[in-house]
Structures are given as structure tokens and as C-alpha cells.
């Protein structure tokens, strides 16, 4: 009996070793925070009671759209990257490019856990000063594991080098001021999304708050009722 038990134990150990080895080569998708503030899907908080000004945020889509989706993001957050590379293109095709939804992007760099997040946010905003915010947005997320030389990113996008460098030096202050405004509407992690109707004064009246790494279906369920089921 003991010999049979020993054989079973040895087989179990072998299978465990093989499984661990496979996991080391094929790690699972992140399902837990990669630092305080970076979040997977979690229970929704209530939408903010105050409208959110959209002035100053990078935007994509129809400026006259009745519905907006506002993202608070961190260029070094892996869940923000997953949204940018996997979910945003689908939203772009279905809602943004068709003029149904205005997409707005706000930086919320988690400096305590992501050492390059503030610099990356500054690089995006400074590229925006030269009309290439979204090109820098896409480049930063695609090269997230190699965030270091932002001047090289600027060169790839053919930005004016001296103007970009001068902007980079002063932009962090503006981003930190915007971060204070984000905390007033209870943004504490990334990615956080606010969905709602655009008011006559250009502010966003939020009706739905989504947080974390979410599939396209979560956004469809939030957007379609505001669009009349379209």
C-alpha cells in the first residue's frame, strides 16, 4: 500500500512541476492590481453628483455628440493598455467614428507605483500641443514595457524637438492640477470610465461609472440605453 501511495505522490509532484513550468512560460493575464490604483473589474461606485467639465481633455469623435465616454488612465497601467489595444478600437468602430459618442481622455498617473507614468502623461500632452496626442497615446501603450526615452518617441512622431523638451519640463504641474479635479469626483484608480450625456454648457452629466479591465459588452450595455438602443 505504501509503495502505491508513494507512486501516486510522485506522479502528483511530477504533474505539479510540469504545470508550474508551463505557467512560467505562459503566465496568465493579470487579474490583480499591479500596484495601488491599477484595477481589474470591480463593483461599480455611484456616478458623481456633479457634472464634469470636458474642457482641456483630449477628445476623439463628434464634438456635437450627445453622449460622451470619459476615461481616466495611466500610461503605465497594464489594464489601461488592455483597454487601449483591445477594447478602444471596437468602441472607435462602433460608436466614435460613427459620430454617436465623443471619447475623452484624462491622465491620472499613479506616481506611487508607476515611476514613468507622469513623464508619459507629459509626453502625450506635449505631443498634443503639436497636434499628435493620439499618435503618442497609441505609441506609449504599444511600447509600455519600454517607457524611458520620450525624446525618441517624439522623433518617431516627427515632433519639433526643442518645443517638445521645453513643454515636458513644465507639463507635470498642469497634470497634477488636473489630478486634483479627478479626485473630487472620486477617481482613485485606473482605468476609470464615466459615461453620460453632454450638457449645453459642455459638461458631462454622468449616469454610469465603470472601473477596471472590462470587455466591450460592458460598454455596449452602458452606451446603448443612452443612444436609444442604437
Taking 50 as the threshold, does the pLDDT of residue 11 lie above it?
no
| 3-class DSSP assignment, residue 203 | strand
pLDDT > 50? residue 173: yes
pLDDT tens per residue across span 112-124: 889 899 999 999 9
pLDDT for residue 230: 53
- Residue 213 has what pLDDT? 84
The pLDDT of residue 38? 55
pTM across the whole model: 0.80
- pLDDT (tens digit per residue) in 31-58: 333 445 555 555 677 889 899 999 999 9
Q: Decide if 80 contacts 190 (C-beta within 8 A).
A: yes
* C-alpha–C-alpha distance, residues 73 and 77, integer Å: 8
Summarize pLDDT for 177-194 with one digit per residue, the tens.
Answer: 888 889 999 999 999 999
pLDDT of residue 2: 35
Contact 214/82 with Cβ under 8 angstroms? Answer: no
Domains annotated for the chain, with CATH where assigned, are: 31-223 (3.40.30.10)
Amino acid at each position: 500500500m505504501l509503495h502505491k501511495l508513494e507512486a501516486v505522490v510522485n506522479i502528483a509532484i511530477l504533474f505539479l512541476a510540469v504545470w508550474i513550468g508551463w505557467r512560467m512560460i505562459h503566465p496568465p493575464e493579470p487579474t490583480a492590481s499591479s500596484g495601488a490604483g491599477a484595477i481589474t473589474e470591480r463593483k461599480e461606485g455611484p456616478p458623481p453628483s456633479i457634472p464634469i467639465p470636458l474642457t482641456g481633455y483630449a477628445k476623439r469623435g463628434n464634438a456635437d455628440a450627445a453622449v460622451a465616454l470619459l476615461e481616466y488612465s495611466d500610461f503605465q497601467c497594464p489594464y489601461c493598455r488592455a483597454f487601449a489595444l483591445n477594447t478602444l478600437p471596437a468602441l472607435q468602430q462602433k460608436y466614435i467614428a460613427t459620430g454617436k459618442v465623443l471619447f475623452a481622455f484624462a491622465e491620472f498617473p499613479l506616481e506611487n507605483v508607476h515611476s514613468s507614468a507622469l513623464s508619459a502623461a507629459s509626453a502625450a500632452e506635449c505631443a498634443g500641443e503639436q497636434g499628435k496626442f493620439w499618435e503618442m497615446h497609441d505609441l506609449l501603450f504599444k511600447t509600455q514595457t519600454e517607457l524611458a526615452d520620450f525624446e525618441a518617441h517624439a522623433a518617431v512622431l516627427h515632433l519639433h524637438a526643442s518645443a517638445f523638451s521645453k513643454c515636458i519640463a513644465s507639463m507635470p504641474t498642469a497634470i497634477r492640477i488636473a489630478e486634483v479635479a479627478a479626485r473630487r469626483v472620486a477617481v482613485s484608480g485606473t482605468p476609470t470610465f464615466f459615461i453620460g450625456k453632454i450638457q449645453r454648457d459642455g459638461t458631462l452629466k454622468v449616469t454610469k461609472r465603470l472601473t477596471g479591465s472590462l470587455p466591450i459588452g460592458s460598454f455596449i450595455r452602458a452606451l446603448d440605453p443612452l443612444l436609444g438602443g442604437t
